[in-house]
Structure 1
Amino acid sequence: MHLRAEAILLAVRSHGEHGAVVRGFTRDDGVQPGYVRGGHSRRLRPVLQPANTVLGEWRARTGEQLAALTVELVHSRAALHAEALPAAALDWVTALTAAALPEGQAYARLHDGLGGLLGAIEAAPSAKGWAGSLVRYELLLLAELGFGLDLDRCVVSGVADDLGFVSPRSGGAVSRAAAAGYEAKLLSLPAFVRDGGAAEWPAIIDGLALSGHFLARDILVDRRADTLAARERLVERLKRAVA
C-alpha cells in the first residue's frame, strides 16, 4: 500500500514514547490513518495540528497494517488555536469528521466542504462570518452519510412554500400553516439553511439546534457520543459571544 496525497489533519493521538497516530482526510481516498515516527518532536508538533493541511505519504506492506506516515506541511492553521472561538470550531469540526467517517471511503464533497469551512474560519473577522457555514457543513455531513433532511416540501401538506419548521422525528420540512399549534414540538427551519445567503444570529442558533439534534440522534451515538462535548463548548461560546 502506497499513497501520496494532500490531507486535512483530523486527529492526532500519542502512541508510544515519541510517535503519534494521525488521521488525515484526503479528497480521493477518504480518511487515512498512519503512524508518524517522532510525532511529538519539536519539529513535528507544529505540523501535526488538527485542521492543518499536509502532504502525506502512507506506506504499508498490507492494507490491514497501520501505515507508516511521513508528512510535509502545506498550510498551517495553528495560529487559530490561540483564539478561543476559532479554536473551539476547529476542535469540533475535526473531531466530528474523524468520529463520523469510516476509513478509506471517498467523500469528495465533504472534503471540499470542510476545506471551505476552514477557509471561512480563517478569513472571517468574527464568528458570524463562519457560523452559518458550520451549520451547512454539519447538514452536508448528515446528507453524505445517508441522514439528509427533506427540506423540499412540507411532509404534512406537500406544499413547497412557507416552510418554517422541521419534524424532529422524520427530518422533513413542515409549513407554518401545517405547524400551527404544534410549533413547540418542532425544530425551527432558518431560511438560510434552505435558501442560502447570510444569516443573523437568531437564525444561526436555530440552525445549530437543527443540525445538532440529528447529529446526536443519527451519527454521534454509543462511543462517539463523547465527541458532542466539543460541540456543546462551541455552542455555549457562540451564545455568550452574541449575548
Structure 2
Amino acid sequence: MVLTTRKHGENDVILEAMTLDHGRHLGLVRGGRSRRHRPVLQPGNELTLTWKARLSDHLGQFHIEPETLRAGDLMTSSLGLAALQHLAFLLRLLPERHAYPRLFNALTVVLDHLEASDAAAALLVRFELEVLRDLGIGLDLSSCAATGSNEDLAYVSPKSARAVCREAGTPYHDRLLPLPGFLLEGQRQAGSELTWADVTQGFDLTSFFLNRYLQEHGTRDGGTRSQVLSALEKRYRTEFPWNF
C-alpha cells in the first residue's frame, strides 16, 4: 500500500509503503516520476512490490506492479485526502520493517469504506485503537476495572486504560473518559448511524492516549487528526443533520 513518495534525483522517487510481511518499508523506484509510474505511485494504491538490496539494512530498490488503484477516488474528497495523511502519520509511529498484519488489513478496510461517513468514522477510531495496541498502550474494554462486570461499560480510566462500568464510575465521572457504545462488541444495532457525539467521544478517547504518547516522545501529530475531524463533521452535517 502506497503511503507517500518523495523526489530522489531527476527521475526517481523514494516510496514509503505499508506491506503485509515487512510493515512500513522504504525503497527506491527507478523512473518513479515517469508518466508510466506516476499515476501508480499515488497514496492509497495497492501494489505488488519486489524489493532488492545488496545488504538488508540498505534502502534498496522496489520493482512495482499495480494491483488496486483507488487513489483517484480518495483524492476527490477532503476526507480521503485527510485520512491518507493521518493514517500514514499513525503508521510512522511504529518501527520500520516490523510486520503488523492486523494494521495492514485494517488499513485496506478503512480506505475501502471512506465513502460511508459513519462507517469511516468508526473504522478510523478503531484503527487508532489498533495503533495504540501495537505501541504498547492497548485499551482493555472487555470488563470493568473496578467490579469485573462486562455490563453497562460507560467510561475508561485514563490511568489504567481499562473500561469502567457506569455504577462504579459515576462518582468519578469528571476524572474518567467517556466510552462510546460503538466500541463495545454487540452494542451498535444494525442499520443505526453513529451520532456526532459518538464520533467525537471516540476520537477524544484515542486522542487522550495518543497525545500522551506523543508528548512522552517529543513529537506532534501535525494537525492530521483535526483535518480528519473537520472533514467528517462536514460530511455529518450534510448527511446526518439530525444527529447533531
Q: TM-score, normalised by structure 2?
A: 0.86
Q: Compute the RMSD of aligned alpha carbons.
A: 2.0
Matched, 1:33 2:26: yes
In the alignment, which residue of structure 2 is the partner of 1:3? none
Q: Which runs of 4+ in 1 moved over 6 A?
A: none
Q: Say which SS state the counterpart of residue 35 (structure 1) adopts.
A: strand
For the 8 Å contact 2:3–2:84, the answer to whether it is kept is: no
Q: Superposition pairs for residues 164-243 of structure 1, below 5 Å?
A: 164-196=154-186, 197=188, 199-201=193-195, 202-218=197-213, 222=217, 224-225=219-220, 227-243=221-237
Deviation larger for 190-199 or 72-81: 190-199
Q: Say which SS state the counterpart of residue 150 (structure 2) adopts.
A: coil
Greater percentage in strand? 1
> Given residue 93 of structure 1, which amino acid in structure 2 is its aligned partner?
L
Alpha carbons of structure 1 residues 18 and 32: separation in structure 2 relative to 1, 3 Å: same
Listed as ranges, the gaps of 5+ residues in structure 2 are 238-244
Which of the residues 113, 125, 128 maps onto 1:120? 113
Aligned equivalents of 1:190 and 1:18: distance in 2? 49
Which of the residues 131, 137, 150 maps onto 1:147? 137
> Given residue 75 of structure 2, which amino acid in structure 1 is its aligned partner?
H
Equivalenced residue count is 231
Alpha carbons of structure 1 residues 73 and 230: separation in structure 2 relative to 1, 3 Å: same
Alpha carbons of structure 1 residues 238 and 186: separation in structure 2 relative to 1, 3 Å: same
What CA deviation, in whole Å up to 9, does each residue of 1:161-204 have, x standing for no partner?
A: 11101112221111111222432322111111121546512212
Q: Superposition pairs for residues 50-199 of structure 1, below 5 Å?
A: 50-79=43-72, 80-97=74-91, 99-121=92-114, 124=115, 126-196=116-186, 197=188, 199=193
Listed as ranges, the gaps of 5+ residues in structure 1 are 1-7
Alpha carbons of structure 1 residues 11 and 61: separation in structure 2 relative to 1, 3 Å: same
For the 8 Å contact 1:11–1:95, the answer to whether it is kept is: no
User: Displacement, 1:212?
Assistant: 1.8
Identity among equivalent pairs (%)? 36
Q: Say which SS state the counterpart of residue 157 (structure 1) adopts.
A: coil
Q: TM-score, normalised by structure 1?
A: 0.86
Alpha carbons of structure 1 residues 169 and 220: separation in structure 2 relative to 1, 3 Å: same
> Given residue 84 of structure 1, which amino acid in structure 2 is its aligned partner?
S
Aligned equivalents of 2:71 and 2:120: distance in 1? 18
